[in-house]
């Protein structure tokens, strides 16, 4: 008799789990206690074992999607068994939960081949959904991508995502000429600057947080991540320091404050805004390394480090790239106040895409900050000090501010980070650049 496979509780605090991968496929025989799927919980990736022996008849929650504790994620039974009734029951379960059970018509005539039309699980709408797979995805045998050895090698060397390439060989095998074609058409992931207007289809887990899209981590990125990680720790960090002349920004701030008096904004508010704007231009910095995926955020949700009595918390200015100085300023004030009073809600301090720590007001000239995972970088901002500089052969003074960015090398490379800082610096040194 067919039975439901339910999402088990795999960690003490788990409320939902994401199917990281299905170890078994529809039609596979399963023994009791055999691993059938890997599930990402809030704590770790856990192996999920089957409680009974049988055949995996149906996968209801595909890899990459989440399921609540106790939600039906699949159906197990005897080979060839009719499980239409059970499927209907599971669907009703979904709709009675008030979730968006999508209209389905395929339940009956469905066969195992209809994988691409997989029924969506009944689930709350705020799930992370897998990035839309390209329609042209190579056909595969048992879900395996067919690639000739030389094509695989060339793709690795060029950082190409094989899943985005259409195979022209037998059974959709990706062959050398497909890679050459892809390379000709400039379909590489090497330079983020060449990626044009990406779409962000995934809704965030945390309300109000930035939408994002995910791309499969390229083999090259994975190798960089793995090797640097072995060398330096779980997050291979490196640091980039830049000197910024703040005179123009300070002038700008004075003008703004004059016109909005008695309201006023801080230098840090400007830095938050400028960083957010620079982030939208440098997607690898506004990203997160997630092992087999790199998550790129649409908006810059800036965590601003606030010192409180018992430590430190980073409330978040959501979508700072879209907000004005004044709005950022008032939000930061409000959040800092809440932080000090321990009134911050989780969504107000969880899920930033980038962080800024400013110790300038405490006279710190230069320092490094520690990345707040899973963010890719954090900016450590020092104080702006009048410093003698040589300009046009004359010694004069400028307000120099040192900024050091800590970068997660798994996703940000030296040049990537440097380009971001260039943009950041240009905007602060010449605020007109913010309009560009």
Partner 1 sequence: MAELTIRDALNEALREEILRDEDVFIMGEEVAEYDGAYKVTRGLWKEFGDKRVVDTPITELGFAAVGVGAAMAGLRPVIEFMTFNFSILAADQIINHAAKMLYMSGGDFKVPIVFRGPNGSAYQVSSQHSQALEAFYANFPGLKVVMPSTAADAKGLLKSSIRDNNPVIFMEQERMYGLKGEVPEDEDFTIPLGIADIKREGIDCTIVARSMTVPLAYQAAEQVQKEFDVSCEVIDPRTIKPLDIDTIVESVKKTNRLVIAEESHSFASVGAEISHQVMEHAFDYLDAPIKRISTAEAPMPYAKNLEELALPDVPKIVEGVKEVCYL
| Sites of contact with partner 1 (CB under 8 A) | 148-153, 168-170, 175-177
Q: Smaller CB distance to partner 1: residue 175 or 307?
A: 175
Q: Smaller CB distance to partner 1: residue 69 or 152?
A: 152
Q: Cβ 169 to partner 1, closest distance in Å?
A: 5
Q: Cβ 170 to partner 1, closest distance in Å?
A: 8
Catalytic entry in 409, 410, 419, 425: 409
SS3 of the chain: the string is: CCEEEECCCCCCCCCEEEEEEECCCCCCEECCCCEEEEEECCCCEEEEECCCCEEEEEECCCCCCEEECCCEEEEEECCCCCCHHHHHHHHHHHHHCCCCCCCCCCCCCCCCCHHHHCCCCCCCCCCCCCCCCCCCCCCEECCEECECHHHHHHHHHHCCCHHHCCCCCHHHCECHHHHHHHHHCCCCCCCHHHCCCCCCCECCCCCCCCCEEEEECCHHHHHHHHHHHHHHCCCCEEEEEEEEECHHHHHHHHHHHHHHCCCCCCHHHHHHHHHHHHHHHCCCCCEEEECCEEEEECCCCEEECEEECCEEECCEECCHHHCCHHHHHHHHHHHHHHHHCCCCCHHHHCCCCEEEEECHHHCCCCCCCCCCCCCCEEEEEEEEEEEEEEECCEEEEEEEEEEEEEEECCCCCHHHHHHHHHHHHHHHHCHHHHHC
Q: Cβ 149 to partner 1, closest distance in Å?
A: 5
In the annotation, is 282 catalytic? no
Q: Smaller CB distance to partner 1: residue 148 or 326?
A: 148
Q: Smaller CB distance to partner 1: residue 140 or 148?
A: 148
Q: Cβ 177 to partner 1, closest distance in Å?
A: 7
Q: Smaller CB distance to partner 1: residue 8 or 169?
A: 169
Q: Cβ 138 to partner 1, closest distance in Å?
A: 14
* Active-site residue list: 409
């Amino acid at each position: 008799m067919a039975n439901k496979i339910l999402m088990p509780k795999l960690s003490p605090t788990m409320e939902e789990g994401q199917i990281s991968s299905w170890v078994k496929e529809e039609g596979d025989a399963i023994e009791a206690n055999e691993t059938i799927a890997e599930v990402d919980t809030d704590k770790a990736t856990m192996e999920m074992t089957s409680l009974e022996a049988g055949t995996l008849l149906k996968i209801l929650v595909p890899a990459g999607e989440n399921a609540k504790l106790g939600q039906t994620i699949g159906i197990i039974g005897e080979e060839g068994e009719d499980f239409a009734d059970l499927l209907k029951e599971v669907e009703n379960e979904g709709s009675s939960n008030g979730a968006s059970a999508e209209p389905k018509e395929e339940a009956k005539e469905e066969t195992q081949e209809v994988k691409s039309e997989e029924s969506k699980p009944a689930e709350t709408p705020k799930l992370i959904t897998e990035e839309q797979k390209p329609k042209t995805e190579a056909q595969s045998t048992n879900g395996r991508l067919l690639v000739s050895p030389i094509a695989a090698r060339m793709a690795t060397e060029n950082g190409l995502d094989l899943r985005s390439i259409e195979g022209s060989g037998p059974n959709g095998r990706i062959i050398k000429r497909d890679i050459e074609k892809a390379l000709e058409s400039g379909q590489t992931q090497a330079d983020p600057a060449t990626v044009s207007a990406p779409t962000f289809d995934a809704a965030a887990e945390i309300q109000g947080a930035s939408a994002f899209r995910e791309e499969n981590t390229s083999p090259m990125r994975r190798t960089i991540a793995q090797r640097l990680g072995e060398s330096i720790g779980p997050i291979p960090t490196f640091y980039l320091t830049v000197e910024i002349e703040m005179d123009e920004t300070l002038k700008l701030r004075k003008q703004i404050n004059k016109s909005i008096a008695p309201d006023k904004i801080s230098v840090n508010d400007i830095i938050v805004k400028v960083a957010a704007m620079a982030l939208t231009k440098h997607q690898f910095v506004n990203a997160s390394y997630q092992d087999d995926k790199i998550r790129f955020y649409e908006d810059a949700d800036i965590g601003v480090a606030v010192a409180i009595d018992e430590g430190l918390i980073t409330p978040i200015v959501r979508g700072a790239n879209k907000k004005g100085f004044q709005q950022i300023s008032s939000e930061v004030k409000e959040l800092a106040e809440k932080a000090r009073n321990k009134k911050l809600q989780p969504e107000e301090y969880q899920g930033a895409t980038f962080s800024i720590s400013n110790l300038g007001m405490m006279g710190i000239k230069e320092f490094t900050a520690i990345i707040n995972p899973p963010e890719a970088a954090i900016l450590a901002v020092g104080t702006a000090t009048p410093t003698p500089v040589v300009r046009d052969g004359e010694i004069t003074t400028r307000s120099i501010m040192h900024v050091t960015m800590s970068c997660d090398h798994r996703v940000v490379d030296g040049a990537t980070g440097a380009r971001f800082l260039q943009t950041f610096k240009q905007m602060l040194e010449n605020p007109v650049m913010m309009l560009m």
